[in-house]
């Protein structure tokens, strides 16, 4: 690594291939999409009442960017997402380690987990709305319920994947509980935990926006539904664009974090051919 002044193209972490060609193609593709979105409504192929040209969307986006409401909504969405994800990671992580470590817990709880996990979390929308009205806790409940399972299941797999021989070796060397967890369990758990967190992050964003959209808790989703009911079509598209960027940011941020945390792991090293 040292001594090579390599300038890495900015790829949003979207592609494992860090050479320039994908970047050029990718940017071309996005530009083509932008052109299509601009031209089709302008020439009338798409109805501009429903599909406003891109410039109109961007104008409305820039007026959003200077409104306080927008920033407070974005803040609510991001903080709700982060809080929900954090709670889910804690519950899922601790629960997963416990379930996987104690066989009795595993046997007792697996049927309950297997039944609760596929329950679509949007089924809880009415309960959340009844209990919390339109305050942010309503959405938080949905986010936590949906994303905890992702972490829990991955952590269970991860703990089960810990090498038995390594564990016994640690015991023979009398490493103690703390060091055993830190240097034996954590390394093999980490890849699974990261995958769990990445999946949970995506699911959490979906449920965060869903809660805002349907229950009406503060956030981008509510702004979208307000824009929809006041027929402010370009604003609606602008907000959808913002939520898409939020999604891209979260996805690529998670993948970058994965690369940083798991730089030693074969799955990451294998990518850097």
Partner 1 sequence: MKRLGAWAFFTFAVPVVLIIAWTIASETSDTIYFPSPIAILAVFPDTWFSGAISGDIFPSLSRLAAGFGLALIAGVGVGTLVGMLKPLRLLLEPIFELFRAVPPPVLVPIIMLVAGIGDGMKIAVIAFGCVWPILINTVAGVRGIDEVQLDTAASYRFSGRLRFVSVILPAATPQIVAGARQSLAIGIIMMVISEMFAATNGLGFNIIQFQRLFLIPEMWSGIILLGLLGVGLNAVFKIIENRLLTWHVGLHAAEK
Site residues, partner 1 (CB under 8 A) = 12, 14-15, 21-22, 25-30, 32-33, 50-51, 107-112, 115-116, 118-127, 129-131, 205-206, 208-210, 213-214, 221, 224-225, 227-228, 233, 236-237, 239-240, 243-248, 250-251
**Residue 89 or residue 238: which is nearer to partner 1 going by CB?**
238
Distance, in Å, from the CA atom of 220 to the CA atom of 218, rounded to the nearest integer, reads 7
Closest approach of Cβ 40 to partner 1, in Å? 13
**Residue 135 or residue 169: which is nearer to partner 1 going by CB?**
135
**Residue 43 or residue 131: which is nearer to partner 1 going by CB?**
131
3 backbone φψ class: left, alpha, beta (φ>0; ψ -120 to 50): left
Closest approach of Cβ 213 to partner 1, in Å? 5
Closest approach of Cβ 219 to partner 1, in Å? 11
Identify the DSSP state of 47: -
Angle at 67 between CA 72 and CA 229, to 5 degrees: 85
**Residue 138 or residue 185: which is nearer to partner 1 going by CB?**
138
Closest approach of Cβ 22 to partner 1, in Å? 5
Distance, in Å, from the CA atom of 186 to the CA atom of 270, rounded to the nearest integer, reads 21
Tokens, residue 12: 């949003």
Distance, in Å, from the CA atom of 221 to the CA atom of 237, rounded to the nearest integer, reads 12
Distance, in Å, from the CA atom of 4 to the CA atom of 227, rounded to the nearest integer, reads 51
């Amino acid at each position: 690594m040292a001594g090579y002044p390599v300038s890495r193209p900015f790829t949003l972490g979207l592609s494992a291939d860090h050479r320039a060609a994908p970047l050029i193609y990718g940017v071309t593709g996005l530009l083509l999409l932008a052109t299509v979105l601009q031209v089709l409504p302008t020439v009338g192929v798409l109805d501009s009442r429903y599909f406003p040209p891109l410039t109109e969307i961007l104008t409305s986006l820039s007026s959003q960017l200077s409104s306080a409401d927008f920033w407070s909504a974005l803040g609510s969405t991001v903080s709700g997402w982060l809080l929900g994800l954090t709670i889910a990671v804690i519950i899922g992580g601790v629960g997963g380690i416990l379930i996987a470590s104690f066989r009795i817990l595993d046997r007792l709880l697996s049927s309950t987990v297997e039944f609760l996990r596929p329950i679509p979390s949007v089924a809880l929308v009415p309960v959340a709305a009844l209990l919390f009205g339109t305050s942010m806790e309503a959405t938080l409940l949905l986010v936590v319920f949906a994303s905890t399972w992702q972490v829990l299941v991955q952590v269970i797999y991860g703990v089960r994947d810990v090498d038995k021989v390594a564990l016994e070796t640690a015991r023979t060397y009398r490493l103690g509980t703390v060091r055993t967890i830190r240097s034996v369990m954590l390394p093999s758990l980490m890849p699974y935990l990261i995958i769990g967190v990445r999946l949970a992050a995506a699911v959490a964003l979906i449920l965060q926006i869903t809660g805002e959209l349907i229950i009406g808790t503060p956030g981008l989703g509510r702004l979208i539904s307000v824009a929809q009911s006041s027929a402010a079509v370009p604003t609606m598209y602008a907000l959808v664009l913002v939520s898409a960027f939020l999604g891209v940011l979260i996805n690529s941020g998670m993948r970058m974090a994965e690369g940083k945390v798991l730089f030693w792991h074969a799955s990451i090293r294998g990518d850097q051919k």
